Structures are given as structure tokens and as C-alpha cells.
């Protein structure tokens, strides 16, 4: 059975270790250039130069800047899934397990806030471009499916009953964490790390052990 993270991205053919390393270097470079220049300001040439590859190497691995964002989002959610899985193994209380979902989505402020900037830009691009919108909507569904799967496993292992569907919980958690990070970018210090889940979880969840 594939891991939850395996559902959160475009279909993957088997690739060599060398090709995987090339892709990783291009993705690392793209992440840096997007953070510095923005999605629209970044160029394929700048990304290639940062990665130390030619345009040919780029296009043998990725079809466009849009494709880079999709692969970056897959890598992002794989890290989030790993953190939630680790927390589910170690945290004891229902509140701690579900709080870990919020923490995984919003922790590491610098990296996550850069990601918020990129996804906000890309979402606006997708709203205006029908092809990008279809691809981005499909990717968002895959991300939610991956997060729902790992949260389902986490709550099942603790006998937790949610007062909503797991998908609704994931949607709320994603929306609230993204909104809070956006607010912090506009008003630094408006919300401290961890404050969101401390305030929201008791109100939103009413978590209780099943049985």
C-alpha cells in the first residue's frame, strides 16, 4: 500500500539516482529564486544558473515554472506528512496530536512563510489561467488526500473522534495556518507561533476519546 505522501503529487516514473539528484538541485534552486524574485519575476534561465545546469537539463526534467511549483508542493507536503506521523507516534493527548497538525503546517516560519508567498502568487496565476487552475486544483486535492490519510491514521491510533470529517478538519487547518502566516507577514508579531492552535483547537474541535 503506498504511503500517504505518495498520493500528493504528479505520477512518478522510476528515475535514476543521478536524475533524482538533478531534479533536487533544480528544485532547491527554484525555491531560492522564487523566494528572491517571486513566481513571475523568476526566470528559467536564473533557476538554471543557480542550479548549475543548462536549459536542456531543466526541460528534460520539468516542463515549465508551473511544473516546478507542483513538484515543490509535493516535496513540501511530504515533509509535513513525516512530521505529523512522527508526532502521532510520540504525543499522548488528543489535543497534542491534533495540535501537531497545525504545527506541521505552520512551523519553521521563514521557510513556510516563503512558501505562503509563492503559493499565493501561484494561486492568483492559476485563477487567471485555466490550464494552471486545473493542474493546481488537482494538486490541492492530492495534498488534502495525503493529509487526510495521515490524520486519519493519527486519530485512529489514539481513539479520537472529531466533531467533523477529517477532510473538513484538514481544510480548516490549512486555511487557518495559511491565513495566520499571511497575517504575520503583514503584521509581524500579530500571532505568536503556537498561538493559533492554542486558541482554535478547544473551540473548534471539542475532541473526546471514542467509546
In tens, the pLDDT along 4-59 reads: 444 455 545 556 888 889 999 999 999 999 989 999 999 999 999 999 999 999 99
211 falls in which pLDDT band (50, 70, 90)?
Answer: very low
Query: What is the per-residue pLDDT across 116-128, written as a single tens digit (0 to 9) for each?
Result: 888 899 999 999 9
Superfamily name with CATH number, domain 11-62? Homeodomain-like (1.10.10.60)
Q: Judge whether 152 and 165 are in contact, CB under 8 Å.
A: no
Over the stretch 66-107, which tens digit does the pLDDT of each residue have? 999 999 999 888 888 888 888 878 766 777 777 788 788 876
What does the pLDDT read at residue 210? Answer: 45
Non-local CB neighbours of 18 within 8 Å, separated by 6+ positions: none
Q: Could you give the CA distance from residue 198 to residue 102 in angstroms, rounded to a whole number?
A: 10
Residue 110 has pLDDT above 70, yes or no: no
Mention every residue, 6+ apart, whose C-beta is less than 8 A from residue 189. none
Q: Where are the domains of the chain?
A: 11-62, 64-205
pLDDT in tens, 121-177: 999 999 999 999 999 999 999 999 999 998 898 888 777 788 889 999 899 888 888
User: What CATH number belongs to 64-205?
Assistant: 1.10.357.10
Q: Helices in the chain by DSSP H: which ranges? A: 17-41, 44-51, 55-59, 65-90, 94-106, 109-128, 130-158, 166-186, 195-204
- What count of other Cβ atoms lies within 10 Å of the Cβ of residue 44? 17
185 pLDDT band, cuts 50/70/90, is confident
- β 208-209/160-161 pair status: antiparallel
Amino acid at each position: 500500500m503506498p504511503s500517504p505522501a505518495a498520493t500528493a503529487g504528479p505520477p512518478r516514473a522510476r528515475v535514476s539516482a543521478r536524475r533524482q539528484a538533478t531534479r533536487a538541485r533544480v528544485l532547491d534552486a527554484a525555491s531560492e529564486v522564487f523566494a528572491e524574485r517571486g513566481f513571475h519575476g523568476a526566470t528559467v534561465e536564473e533557476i538554471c544558473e543557480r542550479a548549475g545546469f543548462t536549459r536542456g537539463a531543466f526541460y528534460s526534467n520539468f516542463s515549465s515554472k508551473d511544473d516546478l511549483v507542483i513538484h515543490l508542493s509535493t516535496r513540501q507536503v511530504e515533509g509535513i506528512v513525516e512530521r505529523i506521523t512522527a508526532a502521532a507516534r510520540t504525543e499522548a493527548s488528543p489535543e497534542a496530536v491534533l495540535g501537531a497538525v497545525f504545527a506541521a503546517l505552520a512551523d519553521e516560519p521563514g521557510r513556510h512563510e516563503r512558501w505562503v508567498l509563492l503559493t499565493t502568487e501561484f494561486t492568483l496565476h492559476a485563477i487567471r489561467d485555466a490550464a494552471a487552475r486545473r493542474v493546481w486544483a488537482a494538486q490541492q486535492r492530492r495534498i488534502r488526500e495525503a493529509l487526510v490519510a495521515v490524520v486519519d491514521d493519527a486519530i485512529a491510533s489514539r481513539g479520537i473522534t472529531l466533531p467533523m470529517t477529517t477532510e473538513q478538519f484538514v481544510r480548516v487547518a490549512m486555511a487557518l495556518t495559511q491565513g495566520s502566516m499571511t497575517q504575520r507577514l503583514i503584521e509581524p508579531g500579530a500571532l505568536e507561533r503556537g498561538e493559533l492552535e492554542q486558541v482554535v483547537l478547544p473551540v473548534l474541535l471539542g475532541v473526546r476519546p471514542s467509546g
